């Protein structure tokens, strides 16, 4: 134990305490507003739907609390509890080569994390989502998804890990710069192949049928000056009744994807307005800017890891022997950074909410604010999203503005 241990434990207590406190505020706030639908939503949302949303949000938040506590315990087990050290001892017994030993350590960690997460994922799907009528997945489908995800993670993860460990061992003091280049290349590659090669392993994508909806969408695309290589409808209803629309890929592989659940619930005006919002994200460069941020932050973190990698206090402070394998430095860093950056979470959320407002304005300009309001209210209702989040909880975490503020802004745009 050293000063860094104390700092790390303090940060962990603060982050965990904050999470629990925000969750309890959120649940209490939702409970307090459970008995009446907020006035501005009263015409479209019944008390029954409002209460379902309140209960769904409360249950999910309480479940998140359990997850937070388990995560903190696991983190302590891995570090001070000596579990990572044990994994490393096993890996060293199996392999002589530094790279293979490191890859085995990361592999053991990945399998362990996946196993810890499994009961949570199972409970979320078959207890919570099922209880509120959202889940459509069978157990066979859940297991098949799991196996596919594991195969994909191995197929793409193992070569990436081997490349990173090789660079860390061979490239001297500037290894982090080389790793960053590989990381950026890998991310761009994954984004490029995702729509055509990975997403179809999980869902069916049918080209949108000819008809009035497709014509309207194409007219909107022309109006916004947007070119895509296809409009697709995805069988999201196979897994869940939650609806969505999104863009994937970039350049030549750029696609617009609608969940079938969205198409079946919204009318053509509303679908157009939702699409205009999504186009807004694209046209206002939100997507590119977010990517640039991600790459810049990962460069900063890799540089920081470059400094920590050979510092004995970093390992000793986390209960691990020094000198240690490069893979150990990577794992410790990935585990510890989120604890220290937790308090930056509100900034990330605020940045995202700013983009949401801008995309709403774009939709108001190119389509219709009033139709977007109608669509959002339907989606809030269908997804049982709470209309009354705790303001502080929302400010901390939410990527989208609270329903009432977002709708009020859109209504003022509609009035102009």
Residue 84's CB: how many other CB atoms inside 10 A? 25
Q: Which is nearer to Zn ion, 26 or 281 (CB)?
A: 281
Q: How far is the CB of 360 from Zn ion (least distance, A)?
A: 8
Least distance from Zn ion to the Cβ atom of residue 19, Å: 25
**Measured over all CA atoms, what is the biggest interatomic distance in the chain, rounded to whole angstroms?**
71
**What does the alpha-carbon distance between residue 403 and residue 384 come to, in Å, rounded to a whole number?**
12
Got the DSSP string for 183-223?
Answer: HHHHHHHHHHHIIIIIGGGTS-EEEPPSSHHHHHHHHHHHH
CB of 398 to Zn ion, least distance (A): 12
The least distance separating Zn ion from the CB of residue 199, rounded to whole angstroms, comes to 20
How many residues touch Zn ion (CB under 5 A)? 2
Active-site residue, from 129, 270, 360, 371: 360
For Zn ion, the closer CB: 95 or 397: 397
Q: Judged by CB, which is closer to Zn ion: 309, or 353?
A: 353
Q: Which residues between 358 and 387 bind Zn ion (CB under 5 A)?
A: 359
Binding segment for Zn ion (CB under 5 A), chosen from 49-57, 86-94, 351-359, 372-380, is: 351-359
* Residue given tokens 């739907």 in the structure block: 49
Shortest gap between Cβ of 330 and Zn ion (angstroms)? 33
Q: Which is nearer to Zn ion, 272 or 356 (CB)?
A: 356
Q: Binding string, 278-317, against Zn ion, x = CB under 5 A?
A: ----------------------------------------
| 3-state class (DSSP) for residue 230 | coil
Residue 223: both structure tokens together: 């109006």
**360 counts as catalytic:** yes
Asked if residue 120 lies in contact with residue 74, where contact means CB atoms within 8 angstroms, the answer is no
Kind and range of the H or E run holding 43: none
CB under 8 Å to 365, separation ≥6 — which residues? none
Q: 12 or 359, CB closer to Zn ion?
A: 359
Q: Tell me how far apart the alpha carbons of residues 112 and 331 are, in angstroms, rounded to a whole number.
A: 13
Secondary structure of residue 180 in the 3-state scheme: helix
Would you call 98 a catalytic residue per the annotation?
no
Contact 117, 70 (CB under 8 A): no
Active-site residue, selected from the candidate residues 278, 356, 371, 390: 278
User: Contact region for Zn ion (CB under 5 A) — 154-162, 310-318, 340-348, 353-361?
Assistant: 353-361
Region near Zn ion per CB under 5 A, out of 298-306, 321-329, 352-360, 372-380: 352-360
User: Looking at 58-66, 146-154, 290-298, 355-363, which segment touches Zn ion (CB under 5 A)?
Assistant: 355-363
Strand 255-259 and strand 245-248: the pairing is antiparallel
Which CB, 129 or 356, lies closer to Zn ion?
356
CB of 356 vs Zn ion, minimal distance in Å:
5
- How far apart (Å, rounded) are the C-alpha atoms in residues 336 and 324? 16
Q: How far apart are CA 319 and CA 300, in angstroms?
A: 25
Contacting positions for Zn ion (CB under 5 A)? 356, 359
Active-site residue set: 278, 360
């Amino acid at each position: 134990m050293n000063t860094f241990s104390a700092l790390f434990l303090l940060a962990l207590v603060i982050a965990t305490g904050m999470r629990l406190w925000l969750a309890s505020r959120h649940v209490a706030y939702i409970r307090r507003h459970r008995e009446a639908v907020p006035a501005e939503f009263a015409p479209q949302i019944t008390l029954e739907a409002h209460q379902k949303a309140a209960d769904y949000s409360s249950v999910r938040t309480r479940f998140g609390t359990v997850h937070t506590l388990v995560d903190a315990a696991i983190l302590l087990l891995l570090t001070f509890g000596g579990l990572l050290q044990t994994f490393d001892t096993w890996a060293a017994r199996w392999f002589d080569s530094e790279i293979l030993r490191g890859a085995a350590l990361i592999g053991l960690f990945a399998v362990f994390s996946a196993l810890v997460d499994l009961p949570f994922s199972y409970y979320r799907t078959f207890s919570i989502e099922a209880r509120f009528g959202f889940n459509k997945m069978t157990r066979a489908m859940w297991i098949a998804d799991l196996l596919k995800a594991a195969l994909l993670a191995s197929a793409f993860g193992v070569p990436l890990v081997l490349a990173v460990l090789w660079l860390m061992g061979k490239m001297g003091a500037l290894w982090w710069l080389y790793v960053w280049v590989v990381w950026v290349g890998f991310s761009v590659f994954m984004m490029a192949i995702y729509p055509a090669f990975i997403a179809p392993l999980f869902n069916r994508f049918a080209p949108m049928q000819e008809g009035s909806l497709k014509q309207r969408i194409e007219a909107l695309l022309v109006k916004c000056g947007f070119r895509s290589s296809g409009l697709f409808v995805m069988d999201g209803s196979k897994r869940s009744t939650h609806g969505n629309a999104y863009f994937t890929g970039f350049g030549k592989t750029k696609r617009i994807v609608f969940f079938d659940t969205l198409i079946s619930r919204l009318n053509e005006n509303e679908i157009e307005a939702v699409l205009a919002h999504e186009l807004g994200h694209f046209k206002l460069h939100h997507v590119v800017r977010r990517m640039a941020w991600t790459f810049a932050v990962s460069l900063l973190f890799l540089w920081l890891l470059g400094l920590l990698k050979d510092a004995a206090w970093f390992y000793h402070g986390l209960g691990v022997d020094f000198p240690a394998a490069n893979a150990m430095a990577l794992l410790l860093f990935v585990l510890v950074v989120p604890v220290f950056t937790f308090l930056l979470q509100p900034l990330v959320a605020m940045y995202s909410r700013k983009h949401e407002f801008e995309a709403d304005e774009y939709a108001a300009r190119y389509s219709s604010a009033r139709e977007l309001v109608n669509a959002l209210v339907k989606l809030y209702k269908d997804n049982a999203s709470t209309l009354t989040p705790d303001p502080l909880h929302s400010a901390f975490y939410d990527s989208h503005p609270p329903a009432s503020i977002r709708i009020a802004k859109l209504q003022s745009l509609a009035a102009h």
